[in-house]
Structure 1
Amino acid sequence: MAWLFGMFGSKNKDRDKDSILVRAGAQTNSIPDTNQLKGRALHHTVSIGDSLYVWAGAQDGLPKVHDSEEKRRITSNVQHFTPSTGQWITRSTTGTPPLGVRSYCCTAINDQLYHFGGWCGHDDCFHNSITQLDTVSLQWRELEPTDATRPVMRRSAGGMISFEHDGVHHLLMIGGFGSKPAVRLPHYKYIKFFSGNWCTNEHSMYNLSS
């Protein structure tokens, strides 16, 4: 597996709206129901076959810290929905889930979910890690850790797709909002905000087979 750099070919969210969005989402789930999805925001819902999977996002009770036992406990669960049951079921996972729990990117290939980047939920802590979740074994596997020196901007709120070329699966992450880039790659734009954060239209491609 490897990063591929070069020219391939922004989406921006205000992470400070976190608490407002969570409160708005929570209002739709004001009546407790174990078969309903807990109110949240800044998350993704991904389809695999006839199933839907939801993980993390901004939600009541999720600590806004880099890492903690409580954060790991909450993010070690994934919500699973199938039309046959008509219910959301909380399923426990093993392994280590990503730390970028808000505004991460996510896509699916067969039975695997891939998560990129995201905002930690505290200060200006963004990630450029890639983590895989096997939806059969429900086990996390980190493919690439967050690395501040890597020429892939640590970011959130971007886009992500998967594609296959010559029998090889790739992940393509496009744009986002996050930390100052370690390297400003040619052909892309990097814009600094007054807050000190940056937005970009950077494209990052990852080869899953090498």
Structure 2
Amino acid sequence: MIDIYIDHPNKRAHHRTLSVLVGDSLYVWGGYEDGSLSVHDSEGKRRITSNIQHFTPSTGQWITRATTGTPPLGVRWYSCTAINDQLYYFGGWCGHDFCYHNSIAQLDTVSLQWRELEPTDATRRVMMRGYGGMISFEHDGVHHLLMIGGFGSKPAVQLPHYKYRKLLNGRWRTNEHSMYNLSSSKILYYCLKLC
């Protein structure tokens, strides 16, 4: 893999930025940028999304770094968080029509290897969505990812204690909470009475 040193990051929108606590790093991936394709999947889209931009504040240096593995398809308005040197991505919008995802992917910032933890599944009880939030936390020595709210495709299942509302543009908005246990690799469905 070749690192490409650049003066500034690519112009982009509809992305998230992650800082990693190990070392001194900031990572930018996905979003809409020049040359990105509004298609579900293609060789060209994979070529663009197989790069991540890495910034080191102490040196002021941006580097475009190639990744290996298969990056997620939900490249815009995804949710993300970091645990140590691992970046986690949930859902997102594919860039066309009402194509949202509910996949969970991991990017190791040391090896720059993508790993799909959960594939997108339209029948899963986790709404396919973007525009939400995501946090990580540790409980009893186990790391969890908590995905919160957003909007996207019509939910396959409307879970109790959450709100789902169809918007005028045909998308659906929710305050749904979904938790992923990184040790057991299972999605947990909690009925949080927050609504």
TM-score by shorter chain over 0.5:
yes
Q: What SS class does the counterpart of residue 72 from structure 1 fall into?
A: helix
Q: How many residues align?
A: 178
Q: What SS class does the counterpart of residue 180 from structure 1 fall into?
A: coil
Matched residues in 2 for 1:80 and 1:183: separation?
Answer: 38
- 1:112 maps to which residue? 86
- 1:158 maps to which residue? 132
Counterpart AA for 1:100? G
- Deviations, residues 53-73 of structure 1 (Å, cap 9, x unaligned): 000101121000000111000
Counterpart AA for 1:121? G
The structure where strand makes up a greater share of residues is 2
Deviation at 1:156, TM superposition (A): 0.2
- Deviations, residues 148-187 of structure 1 (Å, cap 9, x unaligned): 0000000000000000000000000000010000000000
Which has the higher relative contact order, 1 or 2, with Cα contacts under 8 A spaced 6 or more apart?
1
Query: Which aligned segments of 4 or more residues in structure 1 are displaced greater than 2 angstroms?
Result: none
- Deviations, residues 4-32 of structure 1 (Å, cap 9, x unaligned): xxxxxxxxxxxxxxxxxxxxxxxxxxxxx
Task: Trace 1:125-136 onto structure 2 (pairs within 5 A).
Answer: 125-136=99-110
Deviation at 1:85, TM superposition (A): 2.5
Q: Is 1:191 equivalent to 2:165 in the alignment?
A: yes
Matched residues in 2 for 1:48 and 1:186: separation?
Answer: 35
- 1:34 maps to which residue? 6
Q: Is 1:122 equivalent to 2:75 in the alignment?
A: no
- Deviations, residues 99-135 of structure 1 (Å, cap 9, x unaligned): 0000000000011000000000011100000000000
Match for 1:45 among 17, 27, 40? 17
- 2:152 maps to which residue? 178
- Deviations, residues 75-104 of structure 1 (Å, cap 9, x unaligned): 000000112331210000000000000000
Match for 2:121 among 147, 157, 165? 147
Please tell me the root mean square deviation across aligned C-alpha atoms, in Å.
Answer: 1.0
Q: What SS class does the counterpart of residue 85 from structure 1 fall into?
A: coil
Counterpart AA for 1:182? A
Deviation at 1:195, TM superposition (A): 2.0
Deviation at 1:41, TM superposition (A): 0.9
Matched residues in 2 for 1:124 and 1:198: separation?
Answer: 10
- 1:201 maps to which residue? 175
Matched residues in 2 for 1:200 and 1:87: separation?
Answer: 39
Matched residues in 1 for 2:69 and 2:142: separation?
Answer: 26
Q: Is 1:68 equivalent to 2:70 in the alignment?
A: no
The alignment's TM-score, normalised by the length of structure 1, stands at: 0.83
- 1:169 maps to which residue? 143
Matched residues in 2 for 1:130 and 1:82: separation?
Answer: 26
The alignment's TM-score, normalised by the length of structure 2, stands at: 0.89
The structure where helix makes up a greater share of residues is 1
